[in-house]
């Protein structure tokens, strides 16, 4: 069972397909000009823009409300939905976006200390002063959003912090308060959850390997994992207090994004931010931050195995899958449709929108694969929302060297063929658009003999599932595929109410060699001819 999607727009379900601006682009409207160009070139329905604490409250107690209001207004003017990212205490495991008045006051806002007492560029999650200052600014941000967008028709969600955790050769904070908590008894709510959580959770396994004690310090209960466990618990409680306060002002969906573990040497504080919501820490993040709606992986892995492992971890019954950051090249574009079909992906944004605008103002070539994906998804996203947990969505994914892929549906089998279409392609496309590429897309069964296709680089043919007892046929027939004919083949799109709109009907030459799929055809609806 998939977790319910949290994205809505004006009370209706929504599937965000979009671009995230670079980190500092939200400092001014002038900086955002390239973002708007990128959004137009990519054909997105939403964008993600960061609001940095440094820019929002450059002087303590004085907030720049105009900038946030103008960002919301600019998105509304362009008919774009908006994800606002709060760069507060943490950004990529550091404190780079906090105000200067916070950085300058080490007594009031203490830094993380390493085991040998060295200060690093990270604010301590154990500081009440830091939490209160961050919360005050975050609540002001939520007030502006509430006043500018009371009907929740523009702002879809808010990201709290960014890839939070500690980076800097420190597995946890060794400051005075942090050390006191590390040596103290593990809080009772943590002990209670250890008895009820999934036994496969990393924290539960660590606890059991240390004897499943009913009391003790973090080291006594979790052993070597105790340092990172305390840091994760502290950061979870910090963010939960922000989220709870923000929800009281305006009940938008909240999420955090993740700099992933299970990469490199996998050392906390070195290869990934220690204490963040990485896979081993989900016990804390899903157990002690109830006002967070999602924990979302930033997925840049180029290999299918790594990509699929990540989306599988973060697609849980208690956590809908949303990818807030990814690349826009072929590697990550190829795996996107599998995340939709198998893990119920609820939305996606690629990072670095400005990079897709070339010097001549045209789309950079490296962004073409994701643009093609977005063209395809834009035509079907209402259907994806409707059919998300139905089991009727399958992905077309061309493996390396493969020239075809077989798919199995209820009562029907399908054959996806990859590469250029020397016959039966679309005469409206220039020859270069027919070049061989990695085939990818979706096939959605919407009726007994009805299918919707979208994607790039493949054509599709269907046949009946054979009966258990087949009549004897000439030997040469055993070597051939006999495909079903069509009642109709239509190009079009689904509107936000999931109503199909046909913009072109295919027949004759355009259906003789399978149903071809091009991104700029939108979706293709196929109704098969029933066998006599």
DSSP assignment of 281-328, as one string?
Answer: GHHHHHHS-TT--EEEEEE---SHHHHHHHHHHH-BTTB---BSEE--
Q: What angle do CA 255, 258, 260 make, to 5 degrees?
A: 160
Instruction: From 325, 321, 381, select the one nearest 353 (Cα to Cα).
Output: 325
Name the nearest CA neighbour of 445 among 466, 415, 414: 414
Q: What integer is the mean pLDDT of 7-18?
A: 95
Q: How would residue 86 be classed by pLDDT, with cut points 50, 70 and 90?
A: very high
Confidence of residue 44 (pLDDT cuts 50, 70, 90): very high
* Stretch among 9-23, 126-140, 469-483 having the lowest mean pLDDT: 469-483
Please give the model's pTM, rounded to 2 decimal places.
0.94
| Residue-level pLDDT at 531 | 58
Q: Is the pLDDT of residue 417 over 80?
A: yes
Identify the bridge partners of residue 45 per DSSP, sorted by sequence position: none
Question: Pick the residue with more confidence: 437 or 499?
Answer: 499
Average pLDDT over residues 222-232: 98
* Residue 154 scores a pLDDT above 50: yes
Mean pLDDT of 156-181: 96
d(CA 408, CA 28): 51
Least Cα distance to 527 among 498, 496, 502, 509 occurs for: 502
* Per-residue pLDDT tens over the stretch 303-321: 999 999 999 999 999 999 9
Residue 109 has pLDDT above 90, yes or no: yes
- Quote the pLDDT of residue 419: 78
pLDDT band for position 432 (50/70/90)? very low
pLDDT beyond 80 at 326: yes
Helix (H, G, I), strand (E, B) or coil at 201: coil
pLDDT surpasses 90 at 467: no
Q: Is 222 left (phi over 0), alpha (psi -120 to 50) or beta?
A: alpha
């Amino acid at each position: 069972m998939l977790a319910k999607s949290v994205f809505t727009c004006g009370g209706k379900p929504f599937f965000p397909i979009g671009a995230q601006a670079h980190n500092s682009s939200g400092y001014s409207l002038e900086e955002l000009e390239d973002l708007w160009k990128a959004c137009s070139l990519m054909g997105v329905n939403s964008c993600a823009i960061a609001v940095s604490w440094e820019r929002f409250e450059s002087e303590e107690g004085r907030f720049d409300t105009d900038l946030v209001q103008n960002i919301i207004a600019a998105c509304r003017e362009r008919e774009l939905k908006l994800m606002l990212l709060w760069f507060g205490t943490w950004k990529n495991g550091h404190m780079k976006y906090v105000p200067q008045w916070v950085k300058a006051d080490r007594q009031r806002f203490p830094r993380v200390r390493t085991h040998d007492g060295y200060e690093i560029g990270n604010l301590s999650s154990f500081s009440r002063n830091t939490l209160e200052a961050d919360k005050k600014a975050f609540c002001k941000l939520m007030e502006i959003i509430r006043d500018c967008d009371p009907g929740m028709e523009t702002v879809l969600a808010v990201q709290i912090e960014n890839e939070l955790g500690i980076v800097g050769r420190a597995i946890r904070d060794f400051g005075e308060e942090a050390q006191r908590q590390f040596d103290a008894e593990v809080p009772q709510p943590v002990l209670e959850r250890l008895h009820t959580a999934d036994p496969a959770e990393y924290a539960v396994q660590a606890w059991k390997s240390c004897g499943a004690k009913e009391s003790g310090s973090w080291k006594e209960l979790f052993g070597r994992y105790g340092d990172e466990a305390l840091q994760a618990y502290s950061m979870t409680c910090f963010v939960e207090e922000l989220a709870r306060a923000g929800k009281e002002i305006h009940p938008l969906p909240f999420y955090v994004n993740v700099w992933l573990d299970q990469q490199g040497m996998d050392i906390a504080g070195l290869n990934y931010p220690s204490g963040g919501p990485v896979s081993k820490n989900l016990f804390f993040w899903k157990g002690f931050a109830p006002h967070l709606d999602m924990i979302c992986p930033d997925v840049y892995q180029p290999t299918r195995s790594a990509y699929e492992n990540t989306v599988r971890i973060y697609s849980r019954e208690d956590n809908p899958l949303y990818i807030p950051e990814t690349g826009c090249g072929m590697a990550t574009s190829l795996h996107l449709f599998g995340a939709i079909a198998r893990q119920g992906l609820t939305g996606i944004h690629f990072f670095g929108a400005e990079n897709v605008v070339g010097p001549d103002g045209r789309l950079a070539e490296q962004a073409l694969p994701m643009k093609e994906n977005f063209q395809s998804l834009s035509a079907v996203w209402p259907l994806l929302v409707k059919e998300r947990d139905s089991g009727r969505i399958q992905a077309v994914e061309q493996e390396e060297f493969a020239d075809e892929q077989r798919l199995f549906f209820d009562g029907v089998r399908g054959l996806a063929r990859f590469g250029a279409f020397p016959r039966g392609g679309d005469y409206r496309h220039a020859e270069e658009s027919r070049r061989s590429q990695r085939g990818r897309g979706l096939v959605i069964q919407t009726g007994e003999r009805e299918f919707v296709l979208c994607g790039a680089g493949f054509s599709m043919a269907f046949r009946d599932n054979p009966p258990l007892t087949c009549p004897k046929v000439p030997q040469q027939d055993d070597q051939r595929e006999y495909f079903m004919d069509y009642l109709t083949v239509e190009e079009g799109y689904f509107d936000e109410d999931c109503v199909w709109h046909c913009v072109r009907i295919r027949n004759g030459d355009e259906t003789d060699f399978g149903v071809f799929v091009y991104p700029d055809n939108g979706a293709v609806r196929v109704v098969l001819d029933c066998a006599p």
